[in-house]
Amino acid sequence: MSTDAIVLLRNDHQEIRRQFKRFEQAGDNATAGKAKIVDKIIELLTVHTYLENEVMYPEVRRLLPELEDDVLESYEEHHVADVLVAELAGMEPDAERFDAKVTVLIENVTHHMDEEEQDWFPQVRAGLGRKQLQELGARMNELRPQAPTRPEQPSALKKAVDAVIS
Ligand SMILES: [Fe+2]
Ligand SMILES: [Fe+2]
């Protein structure tokens, strides 16, 4: 199996998009079903942004300084997603604003993943060698079992705080 970092991140994106579609296709009254899907979305996003923030983004910033602006913009987009995810994690699924918040999360994250895939991942692939991308992917695979799965876990909270103050 490939450990190419971009392949791994794109696989995550695909699974995230699949859950977004499931949410969008669930009926207006499918409250329990949608709550389960949102739990899954929260888990997928918490793990994925953690791996990008801990491995991919700092390494891209270090190795390809010309992509610094893209990386900084991406950190800010993660932060917006973190806020929405944290709010959703503490919200009852039948709350008046629940669906609206999920919809805004889906719009924001979809835009963010499209930008990663279309704009800067190709530049990262061009700038880094195959071997470097495989090493980055291997590091992400190693870290994955320890990644937080809920926003209230300490390692996820630390990430959220770092994003605001650093
Ligand atoms: Fe990202
Ligand atoms: Fe991503």
Say what the pTM is: 0.93
Task: Check: CB of residue 63 under 8 Å from CB of residue 69.
Answer: no
Amino acid at 133: L
**Helical axes 31-51 vs 68-89, angle rounded to 10°:** 150
Mean pLDDT, to the nearest integer, of 90-107? 96
Give the contacts of 77 (CB within 8 A, at least 6 positions apart).
Answer: 108, 111, 112, 115
pLDDT in tens, 4-22: 999 999 999 999 999 999 9
pLDDT of 27: 86
pLDDT of 134: 97
HSE of 164, CA atoms in CB hemisphere, 13 A: 9
Rounded distance, CA 103 to CA 72, Å?
Answer: 24
Rounded distance, CA 43 to CA 147, Å?
Answer: 10
What six digits make up the tokens of 134?
A: 């495989």
Kindly tell me if the per-residue pLDDT of 166 is higher than 70. no
Cα–Cα distances (Å) from 146 to 6, 46, 63, 111, 162, in that order, read 20, 12, 25, 27, 18
Give the contacts of 44 (CB within 8 A, at least 6 positions apart).
Answer: 12, 15, 16, 19
Mean pLDDT, to the nearest integer, of 33-57? 97
**Ligand 1 centroid – CA 75 distance (Å):** 7
Of the bound ligands, which one is closest to the alpha carbon of residue 54? Answer: 1
pLDDT of 112: 98
**Ligand 2 centroid – CA 130 distance (Å):** 19
pLDDT of 115: 96
25-34, 82-91, 155-164 — which is least confidently predicted? 155-164
Of the bound ligands, which one is closest to the alpha carbon of residue 13? Answer: 2
Rounded distance, CA 119 to CA 134, Å?
Answer: 20
pLDDT in tens, 48-89: 999 999 999 999 999 999 999 999 999 999 999 999 999 999
Neighbours of ion ligand 2 (CB under 5 A): 116
**Ligand 1 centroid – CA 52 distance (Å):** 6
**Ligand 1 centroid – CA 8 distance (Å):** 12
pLDDT of 155: 82
Amino acid at 53: N
What six digits make up the tokens of 148?
A: 């937080």
pLDDT of 72: 95
pLDDT of 156: 83
pLDDT in tens, 106-159: 999 999 999 999 999 999 999 999 999 999 999 999 999 999 999 988 888 777
